[in-house]
Amino acid sequence: MEAKSLLSGFQLKQTNPLFQTFKEHQYTKFQYQNCASFKPHDSKKLFLQRVGVNFSLKCKKNVDDKLENVVCLGNDDSVIGVRRKKLAVFVSGGGSNFKSIHQACVEGLVHGDIAVLVTNKPDCGGAEYARRKDISVISFPKTSIVPTGLSSVDLVTALSRNLEVDFILLAGYLKLLPVELVRAYPKSILNIHPSLLPAFGGKGYYGMKVHKAVIASGARFSGPTVHFVDEHYDTGRILAQSVVPVLANDSAEELAARVLREEHRLYVEVTSALCEERIAWREDGVPLIQSKENPKQYY
């Protein structure tokens, strides 16, 4: 896709925050039947879980009649009143996590759609898969090897104005994101790393290098970490982790395969929560996921 076609004729869209924070003098009243409600203290975000067959809801707010940011989870796990999210996925290689997320979107496990794939290697397996699935591919950054790549400014413009991307998912993308993009998408970029951060993370820790370091350290456990992205390598707030054992005679390849299987499960689970707006932020800045089965529980 040419940069020109992505950048022309679009005006910047103001993106609503993931959570609306009400002022202290505002309040929300709900009258409901067959419906259990829960309002997380920290996020000021209202979640409703449908518990009966018949469902009716009346809402009043003393400062605005408009009801915003309401999530209703039906008995069939469908999401009511939440717009499907547009996702951009960044890859540098085969993109197995990208493929698993895309399949989850197709199967309805994720309330969103992959609008574009961004890669620094236009011929990588992930990019080829995207083209087969009619997903737009953007090359980034522009280099002597990839002269068709976008600049940082043009990338931000393409994602935010043209494609109106809500969230960015890094899935084996080996480049540091430009500051412009990180600042354009605060609390909206996730990465998955193949170790239990903060251990074995940072610049130079990627792919098989991570698993070799884990085994060499004598660690008995490893596993993937999903974290929000900031301006540095692997230092953003941790959102979710999953533990797998490191066996006595593991090779790096065996450990990598075990961790990767868990990556595929965990990243889909977290992406589902992200698209259903089930992420809350504690007062100390730690992000939490609201359980879909029990909205009163966070993990």
pLDDT at 28: 31
CA 263, chain centre distance (Å): 13
**Residues facing residue 240 across a β-bridge:** 226
Per-residue pLDDT averaged across 128-139, rounded? 98
Per-residue pLDDT averaged across 274-286, rounded? 97
Alpha helices, DSSP H, located in 117-224:
125-132, 152-157, 179-184, 208-217
pLDDT at 26: 33
Which CATH class name applies to 3-14+84-289? alpha beta
Task: Give the residue numbers marked as catalytic.
Answer: 193
Q: Please tell me the pTM assigned to this model.
A: 0.75
Instruction: Evaluate whether 237 touches 186 at the Cβ level (below 8 Å).
Output: no
Omega into 17 within 30° of 0, i.e. cis? no
pLDDT at 238: 98
pLDDT at 78: 52
Instruction: Evaluate whether 90 touches 114 at the Cβ level (below 8 Å).
Output: no
Using the predicted structure, report yes or no on whether residue 118 has a pLDDT greater than 90.
yes
Dist. CA 287–CA 228, nearest whole Å: 9
Per-residue pLDDT averaged across 96-120, rounded? 98
Per-residue pLDDT averaged across 156-160, rounded? 97
217 contacts: CB under 8 Å, gap ≥ 6? 200
Per-residue pLDDT averaged across 70-91, rounded? 72
Q: Where are the domains of the chain?
A: 3-14+84-289, 28-80
What are the tokens at 298? 């966070």
- The pLDDT tens digits for 25-67 are 332 333 333 333 333 433 333 333 322 223 333 333 333 333 3
Instruction: Evaluate whether 116 touches 136 at the Cβ level (below 8 Å).
Output: yes
Output the average pLDDT for the chain. 81
pLDDT-derived band at 119 (thresholds 50, 70, 90) equals: very high
What are the tokens at 127? 């990019």
